[in-house]
Structure 1
Amino acid sequence: MSQRITRINALLQREISEQMRRYYRADTAAVTISDVDCSADLRNARIYYSVLGDDAEIVATQKLFRKIGKDIRQRVSREITLKYFPTFYFIYDPSLERGAEINAILDQLDQDKNEG
């Protein structure tokens, strides 16, 4: 991945998070934009997000992004000038959940080792 795409990914991630915080704070308080992956031609961007909560929260967040995704894209495009502004595709990212589960397992193993 080129340096330019890497910088654009980081810029989009920061600006999407800022727009969510500014305009949709109540709805997106438990949502974190974990990564952005733009295509090389800057036509498409996969926006990966994680959600604190259960499966119902995840489903609610997916519906929310279907509802407000175009508005977020429009707001971000006003702040960032690119020749081609990418279409946003919001994708749930379970990696933070898996990381928390792995940490819990490791903590439990460490506790069992110290007790035994």
Structure 2
Amino acid sequence: MSNKRSPSGQGPSHRQLRVGELIRRTLSDVLNRAEIHDPELNAMSITVGEVSCSPDLKIATVYVMPLMGSVPVDQAIAALARNKAELRHRVSQGLTLKYAPDLRFRPDETFDRLDDTRRMFSDPAVARDLAPDEDEDGAAGG
């Protein structure tokens, strides 16, 4: 019996989620404590929003965003990519995996999607569609 998930399966496995969260916490701690030997990176306030791992745990995609727009996101990603080897080494110290995952940094667009969703719900046409019908309320109450 095979216990493997199919590539088109239902999403990440429990192990992928657990390893991703461990990587996220480790990177957050390292960046928060300014433990990297790059003054430019240490001067940035970067939040690590999410880490998603490939099924074989060899690639970790790290979604980051500078706090309060302190620096452009592409500049923060470039600084992280420049220090990828040192960050990978720090992550591997905190994990008990056969291989240290390759880190790939991407902008975290979660907040942009939240703003778009809020904008959509504040649209009068959408608000009208979401409002309860008065006919249904009167019929249900009587």
- Find the counterpart in structure 2 of residue 28 from structure 1: 44
Bigger share in helix? 1
For residues 48-92 of structure 1, the C-alpha deviation after alignment (integer angstroms, 9 at most, x for no partner) is 1122317x6212212211211221111111121211221010111
Does the 8 Å CA contact 1:50/1:96 hold for their aligned counterparts?
no
Does the 8 Å CA contact 1:20/1:72 hold for their aligned counterparts?
no
Does the 8 Å CA contact 2:91/2:100 hold for their aligned counterparts?
no
* Superposed counterparts of 1:3-82, under 5 Å: 3-22=14-33, 23=35, 26-29=42-45, 31-51=46-66, 52-53=68-69, 57-82=72-97
Does the 8 Å CA contact 2:63/2:108 hold for their aligned counterparts?
yes
Q: Give 1 or 2 for the bigger CA radius of gyration.
A: 2
Residue type of the partner of 1:35?
A: E
Does the 8 Å CA contact 2:53/2:60 hold for their aligned counterparts?
yes
Aligned length, in residue pairs? 108
* Whole-angstrom distance in 1 between the partners of 2:57 and 2:121: 42
* Superposed counterparts of 1:85-100, under 5 Å: 85-100=100-115
- Identity over the aligned pairs, expressed in percent? 26
Residue type of the partner of 2:23?
A: L
Residue type of the partner of 1:65?
A: L
TM-score (norm 2): 0.64
- Higher relative CO (Cα under 8 Å, sequence separation at least 6) belongs to 1
* Whole-angstrom distance in 2 between the partners of 1:12 and 1:90: 13
Query: In angstroms, what is the RMSD of aligned CA positions?
Result: 2.6
Structure 1 spans left out of the alignment, 5+ residues: 111-116
Structure 2 spans left out of the alignment, 5+ residues: 1-11, 125-142
TM-score (norm 1): 0.76
